[in-house]
């Protein structure tokens, strides 16, 4: 499945993406360091696929998603969306490209303006980027509400009158308004009830089929990513440690962190649950403002070697379409 993807068109291409947030301290608020939220990340997303990004809280998943859409000013790196380099573009020029790339946010309550009615929220991008007449605009709003399964009678209601799942549908309808090609879904289901999560994920899948969308799906829910993603990137402390097709990654995780992460997934079968051989990581994630020298994972890695504490492993292709950043595989390669 993955092998032929090289022939497919790259819709999004990210290379060397760095997003540092300055730490200012002291009396004069001097620049005293950086939080390296995203530190040298590279990946491609092919047209029509879903790239899942997983990792624990604070590993830089959301920042990465926002940086790809240029909701931040990047520290370094290039981002190509639909063949256009948006990494250094000014916000004015960027505005014209925004219709192509949209985002579904994590917290469906906070991300909707509480003083705007549903029709205003969904319709605002249309006012800004199209020249539709009022009637056409309303027709388009109704069309979008139908697409995400919202009752048309709700058009004049305000966000606080909806449930979490409905609000997330509003957020999705809003993102769809301008026929985007690429949508970043930033933990769209994290704030939802489990019974609603499936509905929203299925909706996202249906919309992908219907409109040929490309997703960057950020989540910490490994099972959900397994369900929706074609390829999965695993992030740890601002870096991608492993990037592979879904099946390969879940069947045979290479990076020690991926192994630990996958072994933490709850097992529904009680017998298997009790006998499961789990890799339990010790210690905490180091601070992204002061990452360890060498490999970022070396402080917690069960298989850490001497070299891991000195050299940062290269993010390299160990099998076709399979990227791992770990010295274990560099050695294997040189040995084999």
- As beta bridge partners, residue 100 has none
Among residues 36, 98, 300, 327, the one that binds another protein under rule CB under 8 A = 98
Least distance from another protein to the Cβ atom of residue 124, Å: 6
Binders of another protein among residues 178 to 217 (CB under 8 A) are: 178
| Total residues binding another protein (CB under 8 A) | 32
- CA angle, 44 as apex, 148 and 102 as ends, to 5°? 30
Among residues 113, 163, 202, 293, the one that binds another protein under rule CB under 8 A = 113
Instruction: Convert 141-205 into a string of H (helix), E (strand) and C (coil).
Output: HHHHHHHCCCCHHHHHCCHHHCCHHHHHHHHHHHHHCCCCCEEEEECCCCCCCHHHHHHHHHHHH
For residue 295, how many other CB atoms are within 10 A of its CB? 27
**Cα gap 45→272, rounded to integer Å:** 36
**Cα gap 183→288, rounded to integer Å:** 27
Least distance from another protein to the Cβ atom of residue 145, Å: 17
105 binds another protein (CB under 8 A): yes
Among residues 5, 50, 63, 102, the one that binds another protein under rule CB under 8 A = 102
110 binds another protein (CB under 8 A): yes
60 binds another protein (CB under 8 A): no
96 binds another protein (CB under 8 A): yes
**Cα gap 228→50, rounded to integer Å:** 7
Least distance from another protein to the Cβ atom of residue 59, Å: 20
Nearer to another protein, 98 or 181 (CB): 98
What burial class does residue 196 get, using C-beta atoms within 10 Å of its C-beta: 0-12 exposed, 13-18 middle, 19+ buried? middle
Nearest to 229 by CA among 50, 48, 3: 50
287 binds another protein (CB under 8 A): no
270 binds another protein (CB under 8 A): no
Least distance from another protein to the Cβ atom of residue 98, Å: 3
Provide the token pair at 319: 């099998």
295 binds another protein (CB under 8 A): no
69 binds another protein (CB under 8 A): yes
List the strands of the sheet with 84-85, edge to edge. Answer: 30-46, 10-25, 76-81, 84-85
Nearer to another protein, 16 or 164 (CB): 164
**Ramachandran category for residue 267: left, alpha or beta (phi over 0 → left; psi -120 to 50 → alpha):** beta
131 binds another protein (CB under 8 A): no
Least distance from another protein to the Cβ atom of residue 143, Å: 18
154 binds another protein (CB under 8 A): no
Binders of another protein among residues 12 to 51 (CB under 8 A) are: 29
Exposure string for 50-88, b = 16+ CB within 10 A, e = fewer? bbbbbbeeebbbbbbbbbbbbeeebbebebbbbeeebbe
Among residues 89, 158, 199, 286, the one that binds another protein under rule CB under 8 A = 158
167 binds another protein (CB under 8 A): no
Nearer to another protein, 22 or 302 (CB): 22
Among residues 1, 71, 76, 276, the one that binds another protein under rule CB under 8 A = 71
Least distance from another protein to the Cβ atom of residue 104, Å: 10
44 near 14, Cβ under 8 Å? yes
Least distance from another protein to the Cβ atom of residue 137, Å: 14
- 182-186 vs 231-236, strand pairing mode: unpaired
List residues near another protein by CB under 8 A: 29, 66, 69, 71, 91, 94-99, 102-103, 105-107, 110-115, 117, 124-125, 128-129, 158, 160, 171, 174, 178
């Amino acid at each position: 499945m993955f092998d032929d993807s090289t022939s497919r068109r790259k819709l999004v291409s990210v290379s060397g993406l760095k997003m540092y947030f300055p730490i200012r301290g002291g009396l004069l608020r001097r620049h005293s360091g950086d939080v390296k939220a995203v530190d040298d990340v590279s990946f491609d997303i092919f047209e029509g696929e879903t790239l899942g990004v997983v990792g624990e809280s604070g590993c830089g998943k959301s920042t990465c998603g926002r940086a790809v859409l240029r909701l931040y000013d990047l520290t370094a790196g290039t981002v190509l969306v639909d063949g256009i380099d948006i990494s250094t573009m000014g916000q004015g020029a960027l505005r014209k490209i925004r219709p192509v790339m949209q985002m579904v946010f994590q917290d469906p309550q906070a991300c909707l303006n509480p003083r705007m009615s549903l029709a205003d929220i969904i319709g605002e991008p249309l006012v800004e980027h199209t020249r539709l007449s009022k009637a056409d605009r309303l027709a388009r709003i109704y069309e979008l509400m139908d697409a995400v399964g919202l009752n048309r009678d709700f058009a004049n209601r305000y966000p606080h009158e909806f449930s979490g799942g409905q609000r997330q549908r509003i957020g999705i309808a809003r993102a769809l308004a301008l026929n985007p090609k690429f949508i970043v879904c930033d933990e769209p289901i994290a704030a939802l009830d489990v019974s609603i999560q499936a509905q929203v994920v299925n909706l996202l899948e249906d919309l992908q089929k219907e409109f040929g969308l490309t997703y960057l799906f950020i989540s910490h829910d490994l099972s959900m990513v397994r369900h929706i993603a074609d390829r999965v990137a695993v992030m740890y402390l601002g870096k991608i440690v492993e990037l592979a097709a879904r099946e390969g990654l879940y069947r045979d995780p290479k990076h020690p962190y991926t192994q630990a992460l996958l072994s933490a997934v709850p097992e529904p079968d009680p017998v298997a649950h009790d006998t499961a051989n789990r890799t339990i990581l010790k210690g905490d994630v180091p601070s992204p403002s002061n990452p360890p020298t060498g490999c970022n994972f070396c402080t917690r890695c069960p298989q850490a070697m001497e070299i891991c504490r000195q050299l940062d492993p290269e993010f390299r292709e160990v099998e076709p379409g399979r990227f791992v950043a770990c010295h274990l595989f560099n050695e294997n390669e040189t040995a084999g």
